[in-house]
Amino acid sequence: MPSLVSMYRQPRWFRTLFLTDIWERFSFFGMMAILFLFATESVERGGLSMPTGTAGAMVGVYISLTFVAAIPGGWLGDRVLGQQRAILWGAVTIAAGHCCMAVPGTGEVTFYLGILLIAMGTGLLKPNLSALLASFYPREATADREAGFSLFFMSIQISAMIAPFVTGTLGEGINWHLGFGAAAVGMAVGVLGYLRGMSAFGETGKTAPLPLPRGALSLFAVRASLVTGAAALLVGVDAYAGGAVVEHVVIVLGIITLALPFYCFRRVIATAGDRILAYRWVFAATAMLFLLLGQAHSVLNHFALTHTDRLIGGFTVPASWFQALHALFILVAAPMFARLWSGHGAGWSAPAKIAGGLAVASASFVVMTVAALAATAGPVSPLWLAAVYFLQANAELAVGTVALGVTAQIAPHGQAGRMMGLWWLAGAMGAAIGGQLARFGIAPGDTRPGYFLALVLVSLALAITIHTRREGIAARLRTEPVRDAA
């Protein structure tokens, strides 16, 4: 693969970060492929017997937590640890979380401890790895920096494509904890590789670029300890009183995830003005994108398991394998989008591209609506899900990449980090809402075509609204020509 050949031509510091990202994404997507399936599986078959609605909400909240955790994670790298140590501790925390989930026979305690550690570690590793990578390029080396990040984007798709085959085969076919164990081994390899390659970083990212004063650091530690202790106490009291701890935690975390973006958005608007007011459409589109894509890990995973004919030549395809299709289609479609944006689509405005991408995402759930109707008569062809993932991959390339580019372009001076954090929070909000909505999309014996149709109508309405206002939005963003291809 050309991208891997290009990677080995890069300096050692690049290869170290690239391979660390490869293994982190392998562990993440490997776990996501079987998380919902394990949670809903019966205790007799090694699962947790969690109600499907609760499991779907839990998956959505977990994904949103990995986004939200990037905010304090990036802050710790900038103010306390430095990028090098933040990446290391993030990787170790992720590995510890996967190890917790790989331990058989210990039930819900290690399960929830594991996903909490993974979310915390991901929030610490991801923003700091990107920041450290960017630090090696001079500010004026735009082309080199973009090429480097393009290779990293490729690493995500490679991992996302391979991981479900490994963890799904082991988890569904042999034992769920073996699947989680494969993710743990992958992350452990990533930690060891990072430790071996750290010397290549030199002084870059070794210390915090804007360290907290000693007194402020102590105050931060005290406050963090108090918040953590209070949260643990509340969970303990709820458990002792016989409350539905899982449901309560999911609800509280969901509320926090939904409220935090509004708070941060108001803070940025107060200092940034008109552009950020127009950015709310980009924010909404990003949240909608992640709401729709997040259905893959719960609702679509359940559809693959219960309503899809997975028997091919005497072999039953594991439901988790379908998760690899999204990444495969992105790898196929990405070069075509690169040519489109630099060719015929060069004159299109960002709002026009985003609206078009949302329309494609809506079309994917039109396909799911038809598939769900067909499934009322029995299991349907796997080609239905393949078509859904193909359309969603194209939607992500249109909406995700363009929205991220706009976010970087319009960031006010000195607020680039806050703006990127706002984009992450948009993803967190979408994942959290999508997880709660998943409760209505999963029901034993019911394919729920009305649920998929509702997603079509909501996402299409937003796409039409953005397309209708595209010229005004583009003009207020002032990042490119207003004129676009209607």
Kindly state the average pLDDT of the residues 41-63: 84
Which pTM does this prediction carry? 0.79
404 vs 175, higher pLDDT: 175
Mean pLDDT, range 450-456, rounded to an integer: 95
Q: What is the largest CA-CA distance in the chain?
A: 67
> Which pLDDT band, with edges at 50, 70 and 90, does 199 fall under?
very high
Q: Whole-angstrom Cα distance, residue 240 to residue 380? A: 45
What is the β-pairing status of strands 311-312 and 315-316?
A: antiparallel
Question: Dihedral of CA 338/343/345/346: which sign?
Answer: positive
Provide the CATH topology of domain 273-486: Growth Hormone; Chain: A; (1.20.1250)
Helix (H) or strand (E) holding 312: strand 311-312
pLDDT at 387: 96
Domain ranges of the chain: 1-211, 273-486
> What is the per-residue pLDDT across 132-160, written as a single tens digit (0 to 9) for each?
887 787 765 555 665 666 666 666 788 88
Mean pLDDT of 295-310: 92
In the predicted structure, residue 482 carries a pLDDT above the cut 50: no
Residues 15 and 7: beta-carbon distance below 8 Å = yes
Q: Which is nearest to 129 in space by CA: 90, 163, 92?
A: 90
Domains 1-211 and 273-486 share a fold: yes
**pLDDT: which is higher, 326 or 227:** 326
The fold adopted by the segment(s) 1-211 is Growth Hormone; Chain: A; (1.20.1250)
User: How much is the pLDDT for 368?
Assistant: 96
Checking 481-485 for CB contacts under 8 A at 24+ apart, the result is 481/347, 481/349, 482/349, 483/347, 483/349, 484/347, 484/348, 484/349, 484/351, 484/352, 485/344, 485/345, 485/347, 485/348, 485/352
Q: Which residue has the tokens 């019966």?
A: 42
Higher pLDDT, 357 or 139: 357
Evaluate the CA torsion angle 457, 274, 356, 264 in order and state its sign.
negative
Predicted local confidence at residue 136, as pLDDT: 80
Whether 479 has a pLDDT exceeding 50, the answer reads: no
71: CB partners within 8 A, 6+ apart: 123, 421, 424, 425
Query: 232-265 pLDDT, tens per residue?
Result: 677 667 666 665 556 666 677 667 766 776 776 6
**Is the pLDDT reported for residue 480 higher than 50?**
no
